């Protein structure tokens, strides 16, 4: 029994998840940018996003959480959604399908998203964005995101997009056809307040490890059964 337990203990590290990489942590310097304005006078899908890249070590490429910050004065009565896309900085357009998306959330809910398991690729630029796409806002609702008027993050910057579709309609199609505009261009001058955490992919035991593990687990189970008898 002791030998079986030792073999089990030796196999368990292969099942553990490696320690997380250093997070992205972009602070605000007190500035803010409009996220949602009066949809009655300007009915359009508005989106703000922060581009980013996988930090080092690049082997820890699984996005586990990200968050923006609502600035003081944000109205809680508007709805929004969150997305992550691959982003082409040369054309300033999103690429491919959404890697992550949410249903409509109320402005009283902080734009913080945890428990993710989104595998990203080193060297590729991504954009995390908040948008009124798919969220109907018929009344005046003032939304503000905390912002940094300087470029404090070298891996990306803050971008803005206004879709010609009406507020609440699907504007995601235009994200890949109509170019995004840097917030206070040229690109790289500013950032949104933004955090993101990463981890290594969960280790999968090799067949040889499983072959070692299964007899040990079986022996432990039989031992427990004998003790109860």
What tens digit of pLDDT does each residue of 66-119 get?
A: 999 999 888 888 889 999 999 999 999 999 999 999 999 988 999 999 999 999
Q: Report, as an integer, the average pLDDT of 44-71.
A: 93
Q: What local confidence, expressed as pLDDT, does residue 52 receive?
A: 97
Higher pLDDT, 214 or 63: 63
| Residue 147: its H or E element | strand 143-148
Do residues 133 and 171 touch, judged by C-beta distance below 8 A? yes
Q: What local confidence, expressed as pLDDT, does residue 215 receive?
A: 61
Q: What local confidence, expressed as pLDDT, does residue 71 receive?
A: 93
Do residues 83 and 98 touch, judged by C-beta distance below 8 A? yes
How does pLDDT run across 160-200, given as a tens digit for each residue? 998 877 767 778 888 999 999 999 865 557 999 999 999 99
Polymer length of the chain: 229
Indicate the domain borders of the chain: 1-16+203-229, 20-200
pLDDT tier at 25, thresholds 50, 70, 90: very high
How does pLDDT run across 204-228, given as a tens digit for each residue? 565 554 455 456 545 545 555 555 5
Cβ count within 10 A of residue 112: 12
Q: What local confidence, expressed as pLDDT, does residue 6 receive?
A: 45
Q: What local confidence, expressed as pLDDT, does residue 35 receive?
A: 79
Q: What local confidence, expressed as pLDDT, does residue 36 receive?
A: 72
For residue 28, report the phi and psi dihedrals to the nearest 5 degrees.
Answer: -100, 150
Q: What local confidence, expressed as pLDDT, does residue 19 receive?
A: 54
Q: What local confidence, expressed as pLDDT, does residue 223 receive?
A: 57
How does pLDDT run across 106-158, given as a tens digit for each residue? 889 999 999 999 999 999 999 999 998 888 776 777 788 999 999 999 999 99
20-200, CATH topology level: Jelly Rolls (2.60.120)
pLDDT tier at 44, thresholds 50, 70, 90: confident
Residue by residue, DSSP assigns 168-224 as TS--HHHHTTS--EESSSSTTS-EE-EEEEEEPPPP---HHHHHHHHHHHHHHHHHH
Query: Residue 81 and residue 161: Cα distance in Å, rounded?
Result: 14
pLDDT tier at 45, thresholds 50, 70, 90: confident
């Amino acid at each position: 029994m002791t030998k079986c337990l030792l073999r089990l203990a030796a196999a368990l590290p292969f099942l553990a998840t490696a320690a997380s990489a250093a997070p992205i942590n972009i602070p605000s310097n007190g500035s803010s940018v409009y996220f949602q304005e009066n949809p009655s006078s300007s009915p359009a899908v508005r989106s703000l996003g922060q581009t980013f890249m996988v930090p080092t070590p690049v082997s820890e490429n699984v996005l586990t959480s990200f968050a923006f910050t609502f600035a003081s004065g944000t109205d809680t009565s508007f709805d929004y959604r969150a997305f992550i896309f691959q982003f082409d900085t040369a054309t300033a357009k999103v690429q491919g399908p959404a890697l992550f998306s949410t249903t409509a959330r109320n402005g009283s809910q902080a734009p913080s998203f945890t428990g993710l398991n989104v595998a990203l690729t080193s060297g590729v630029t991504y954009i995390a964005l908040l948008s009124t796409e798919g969220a109907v806002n018929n009344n005046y609702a003032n939304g503000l995101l905390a912002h940094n008027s300087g470029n404090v993050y070298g891996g990306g910057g803050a971008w803005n997009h206004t879709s010609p579709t009406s507020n609440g309609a699907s504007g995601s199609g235009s994200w890949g056809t109509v170019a995004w505009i840097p917030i206070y261009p040229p690109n790289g001058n500013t950032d949104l307040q933004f955090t993101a955490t990463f981890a290594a992919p969960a280790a999968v035991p090799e067949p040889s490890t499983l072959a070692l593990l299964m007899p040990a687990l079986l022996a432990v189970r039989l031992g427990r059964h004998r003790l109860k008898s």
